Amino acid sequence: MAQPPARTLTRECIATAALRVLEREGLAGLSMRKVAAEVGAQAASLYWHVRNKEEILDLLGDAIIADAEVPPRTGDWREQYLEYGRRYRALLLAKRDAAKVVAGRLSTGPRVLAVLEDQLDRLREAGFTDADAAMASYLLSAYVQGFVLQEQSPLSATEAAGAGRGQAAREAGDVFRALPAEDYPNLVALADDLTDPDMDTRFEFGLQRIADGLAALLT
């Protein structure tokens, strides 16, 4: 790692390096020094191209969305809206800690704007009010971000060592089943439903409800 001349480093160069560090070490392990080392430079050198670590996170947010592809323009607006949601979730699941990076960050990178533009175009074409189209778009991204964040959140402090997806769900199931049934009858009864590790259908459920609710606006 770290080629000696290293080529003059740019913001894009820093962004892709940060992306590699993020993939390797996770968001908590992402430091200025490590990003700098990844491009063969010193930490302080980054500050010539970037104001903050925060600005690097902004670049990361853009880079994560960068390889988004808009769904095909076939079928009705509903199928396209659903597909937007699915692809957004897939994007957040593809890169490590992507949801946490993107969560508290309103990106205005060109790639993000292009997707948003396209999405709004289809919603208006489908017959939604301007205000409704804007809110429908906002609703979708809020749901997807919130879902993936919950989906990836470990159970309390039982975290790090846990194996992949669904591990937390199974442990949560144990917690629910162990509860006193007279105090929490519903939690005990629904323990299996609440902790079903099939996140895909759980996500799809919410997505379909939202689409249904939006469809009711068009009648």
Partner DNA sequence: CGCAGCCCCTAACACTGTTAGGGGCTGCTC
Partner DNA sequence: GAGCAGCCCCTAACAGTGTTAGGGGCTGCG
Binding site for DNA (CB under 7 A): 6, 8-9, 29-34, 36, 40-45, 47-49, 52-54
Candidates 12-20, 39-47, 77-85, 150-158: pick the segment binding its own copies (CB under 8 A).
Answer: 150-158
Q: Which does 121 bind (CB under 5 to 8 A by kind): its own copies, DNA, none?
A: its own copies
- CA 167 centroid distance within chain: 19
Whole-number Å distance between alpha carbons of 9 and 13: 6
- Alpha-carbon distances, residue 116 vs 18, 103, 168 (angstroms): 25, 16, 33
211: partner contacted, choices DNA, its own copies, none (Cβ within 5-8 A by kind)? its own copies
Nearest CB to DNA, comparing residues 36 and 207: 36
Please identify, using beta-carbon distances, which residue of 39 and 136 lies nearer to DNA: 39
- The answer to whether 52 touches 105, Cβ cutoff 8 Å, is no
33 binds, among DNA, its own copies, none (CB under 5 to 8 A by kind): DNA
Q: CB nearer to DNA: give 56 or 191.
A: 56
Q: Contact, 40 vs 2, CB < 8 A?
A: yes
Give yes or no for a contact between 151 and 103, defined as CB atoms under 8 angstroms apart: no
